[in-house]
Homo-oligomer: A and B are copies of this chain.
Amino acid sequence: MNDLDIAPQIAFAGSPLDRADHLRGDAAALNRLMDGSARLLRLAGIDPVISAEGGLEWGTLAEADGDTELAFLGLLDGRARFAAIPVSASVGPPPPRMWHALSELSPADLATYGMARSLVGWHARHRFCAQCGAPTVLAKGGWQRNCTVCPAEHFPRTDPVTIMLVEHANDSGGAILLGRQPRFPPLRFSALAGFLEPGETIEEAVAREVLEEAGIVVHDVTYVASQPWPFPSSLMIGCHAFADDPAITLDANELDDARWFTRAEVVAAMAGDPEAPFLAPPPHAIAHQLLCWWLAR
């Protein structure tokens, strides 16, 4: 498939920021950029501050405390953009009420916020060297932390997660395997997912996760689309796979339930039909785009 067919709808993708990588290591250039024209992303800790017009708020660098570390996000509309490292940063997703605020942001603002959240959250959780325990300091404009004692250099992490639509082909248009995590709201089902581990390909991770969580053997794994997910810093890698044997063996430690849904049932759920047998994943989740992609095939 051409992944660009669905990319415009993927939440947190499509930031208009120029990351200006060449400036990160140039301390003199960064210092020149940190003048009155530079803009500081207003944050409440790592949560967004949203203007009355529903956009991200930007202030000047003067709003940051003098000893706060600043990360260089990039260039936008001719201005250097920074974000302050908060005192602490949780790794969990935002509370449900914040999704309402996030849903007011333009796709561009949502992408800029997501990148900033992942980056400053990482800094807040990495003030010490994992190798020796000594304090670390921000380096390369915020794209690195260096230990103050040993030679270790640390880089922002991005954790690949495979998320997959498993299809059982049949004469009535096929069925898709979806599961319920315990933390989901009532009736919500979504694509199975799990962190990729050291020593496996994307395709191997997809097969392992589906086998672990649902006891299903898959084949012909293909990549569909990806999404940066800033809670705290995942790369969601959306895939499709086929299963021949639909018999489910549930891992009750991971999932409350897993079921096959027909094409007609998925159509109803995605349309928000109150009679649908499940509540579809929300539009900001890549599982939503994967289901759109599957229905359009």
Could you tell me which A residues sit within 8 Å of B by CB distance? 2-4, 7, 10, 12-15, 19, 21-22, 25, 111-112, 114-116, 118-119, 122, 125-136, 143, 152, 154-160, 195-204, 208, 212, 220-223, 225-228, 230, 233, 235, 237, 251, 253
Q: Is the CB of B221 within 8 A of A158?
A: no
Additional pairs, 13, CB under 8 Å, beyond known A4-B221, A125-B152? A22-B251, A114-B199, A115-B197, A126-B130, A127-B130, A128-B128, A128-B130, A128-B131, A130-B154, A133-B133, A157-B159, A160-B160, A199-B228
Q: Is the CB of A131 within 8 A of B126?
A: yes
Q: Give me the 4 closest cross-chain CB pairs, A-B, nearest first.
A: A115-B199, A118-B198, A128-B133, A223-B223
Residue in contact with A203 in the complex, picked from B115, B143, B226, CB distance below 8 Å? B226
Residues of chain B lying within 8 A (CB to CB) of residue A133:
127-129, 133-135
Q: Is the CB of B131 within 8 A of A129?
A: no
Q: Is the CB of A235 within 8 A of B10?
A: no
Residues of chain B lying within 8 A (CB to CB) of residue A2:
220, 222
Q: Is the CB of A7 within 8 A of B201?
A: yes
Distance to closest chain B CB from A17 (angstroms):
8
Complex Cα–Cα for A121 and B241 (A):
32
Q: Is the CB of B198 within 8 A of A230?
A: yes
Residues of chain B lying within 8 A (CB to CB) of residue A197:
19, 115, 143, 156, 158
Residues of chain B lying within 8 A (CB to CB) of residue A198:
114-115, 118-119, 122, 156, 158, 228, 230, 233
Residues of chain B lying within 8 A (CB to CB) of residue A4:
203, 220-221
Residue in contact with A125 in the complex, picked from B14, B118, B131, CB distance below 8 Å? B131
Distance to closest chain B CB from A258 (angstroms):
16
Residues of chain B lying within 8 A (CB to CB) of residue A132:
128
Query: Could you pull out 25 A-B pairs where Cβ atoms are within 8 angstroms?
Result: A4-B203, A7-B201, A14-B204, A15-B200, A19-B208, A21-B212, A22-B212, A22-B251, A112-B199, A114-B198, A118-B199, A125-B131, A126-B130, A128-B131, A130-B154, A155-B159, A156-B198, A157-B157, A196-B235, A198-B228, A198-B230, A201-B226, A201-B228, A202-B237, A203-B226
Residues of chain B lying within 8 A (CB to CB) of residue A118:
198-199
Complex Cα–Cα for A198 and B212 (A):
28
Which of A114, A135, A204 has the largest count of B CB atoms less than 10 A from its CB? A204
Residues of chain B lying within 8 A (CB to CB) of residue A208:
19, 21
Complex Cα–Cα for A235 and B197 (A):
9
